[in-house]
Amino acid sequence: MLVDNMQTQEVRGEEQTKEKIINLLERSEKYIWMSSGLNSEFYNDPDVKTAMVNAFKQVEDVRIIIDGDYKTKKVELRWLFEIAQQFREKIRIKQHQNLLHWLIVDGKHFRLERPHKTEMVGVDNLFVIDVFQPIVSDMLNKKFTKWWLKATSIEP
């Protein structure tokens, strides 16, 4: 679907989700905000990991909110915490419970995922590219910021 140059696409399935997430990360210029259960099988995939590391290096701000148990994720996704430690001035990780899983890139590219069991990946996603309507992006950014302020900081 195309609305005023805004592209939206519903995606189901792990491979399509992987491709779309990598595409969003490659579009990043300023910031990446993410709320996720961080499924280790998905985020340890070499292509996803490379896209994340490259994107993290090029942006000014990365905020990750882990939905659920962060201690397990520190072990399963050691690379993520190592890069957060290496770039601690711009990569910050927090933890909270029962969040929607979103990926916000530069306030104009989004991945919004419907709630699902934590061990599943890519169940039902909406990807939106080039949102220039401030009301849409402002609403999503404000909601994420509320989660961020309530979340507990984690030391990488």
Note the pLDDT of residue 6.
Answer: 64
Quick check: 89 and 126 in contact, CB under 8 A?
Answer: no
Quote the CA–CA distance of 111 and 104 in Å, as a whole number: 7
Question: 3.30.870.10, 3.30.43.10, 3.40.50.150, 3.40.640.10: which CATH number matches 2-154?
Answer: 3.30.870.10
Cα–Cα distances in angstroms (integers) from residue 54 to residues 49, 64, 83, 95, 153, in the given order: 9, 16, 11, 23, 23
- Reading the chain (156 residues) residue by residue, the pLDDT tens digits are 434 566 777 877 778 889 999 999 999 999 999 999 999 999 999 999 999 999 999 999 999 999 988 999 999 999 999 999 999 999 999 999 989 999 999 999 999 987 655 565 556 788 888 887 667 788 999 999 999 999 999 988
